[in-house]
């Protein structure tokens, strides 16, 4: 990454939302926070707000808003510990510009969603083509060749209008929830 930023001075590295969310989930688990509270905190309408509000609002209003959405009954100390970690790690050490896109939205930068879900889906489907966990090299190569031919045929069929291309998820424009805007 260092070589990339030295070569391309204007390069900005934005973390992957699912990885950021997974790091938060793991910390919540390590704090022994109840599963229903974790699920509530990590819903899209809750945690995503922190990624799209102005960075200067995250430490105060953003976290207070997030905490207002979660029933912390019986776990206040654990949540206090989690939010200390969050501030130290995701605001102070790493900086919110790594995972917060508000300034990019304000600058009119196109935030087209990109995920590695298709790659993960293909990896899972490819693994299911094998009858054993660790196939021989020959079996692996033969299966890979067969699947490559299938994929090349699919591309050719799409190119020559014999089939429709696979559908992709619709673009979702991130926006701050009205509840957050009115939150004091």
Q: Yes or no: say if 71 and 40 are a contact pair by the CB < 8 Å rule.
A: yes
State the distance between the two ends of the chain, measured CA to CA, in whole angstroms.
39
Q: pLDDT at residue 77 above 50? A: yes
pLDDT value at position 3? 54
pLDDT at 181 over 70: yes
The residues spanned by each domain of the chain are 13-110, 117-159
> How far is it, in rounded angstroms, from Cα 139 to Cα 131?
10
Q: What is the pTM of this model?
A: 0.62
Taking only the tens place, the pLDDT of each residue in 5-35 is 455 555 455 556 778 888 999 999 999 999 9
| Both tokens assigned to 62 | 């953003």
Q: pLDDT tens digits, residue range 118-158?
A: 677 788 888 899 989 899 999 999 999 999 999 899 988 98
Q: Rounded to whole angstroms, how far apart are CA atoms 130 and 122?
A: 13
Of 31, 29, 33, 24, residue with least CA distance to 73:
33
Averaged pLDDT, 59-82: 93
Residue 4 has pLDDT above 50, yes or no: no
* Mean pLDDT, range 56-62, rounded to an integer: 94
- Given a cut of 50, is residue 89 above it in pLDDT? yes
pLDDT band at 173 (very low <50, low <70, confident <90, very high): low
Between 29 and 174, name the one with better pLDDT.
Answer: 29
Cα gap 67→80, rounded to integer Å? 10
Task: Say which range, 54-58, 68-72, 113-117, has the weakest mean pLDDT.
Answer: 113-117
């Amino acid at each position: 990454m260092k070589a990339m930023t030295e070569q391309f001075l204007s390069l900005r590295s934005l973390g992957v939302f699912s990885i950021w969310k997974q790091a938060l989930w793991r910390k919540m688990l390590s704090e022994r926070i109840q599963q229903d509270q974790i699920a509530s905190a990590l819903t899209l309408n809750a945690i995503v707000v922190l990624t799209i509000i102005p960075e200067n609002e995250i430490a105060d209003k953003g976290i207070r808003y997030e905490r207002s959405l979660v029933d912390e009954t019986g776990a206040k100390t654990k949540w206090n510990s989690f939010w200390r970690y969050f501030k130290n790690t995701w605001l102070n050490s790493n900086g919110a510009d790594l995972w917060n896109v508000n300034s990019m939205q304000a600058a009119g930068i196109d935030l087209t969603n990109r995920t590695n879900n298709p790659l993960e889906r293909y990896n899972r489907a490819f693994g299911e083509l094998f009858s054993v966990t660790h196939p021989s090299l020959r079996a692996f190569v033969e299966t890979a060749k067969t699947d490559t031919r299938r994929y090349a045929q699919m591309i050719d069929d799409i190119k020559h209008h014999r089939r429709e291309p696979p559908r992709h998820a619709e673009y979702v424009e991130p926006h701050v929830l009205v509840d957050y805007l009115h939150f004091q």
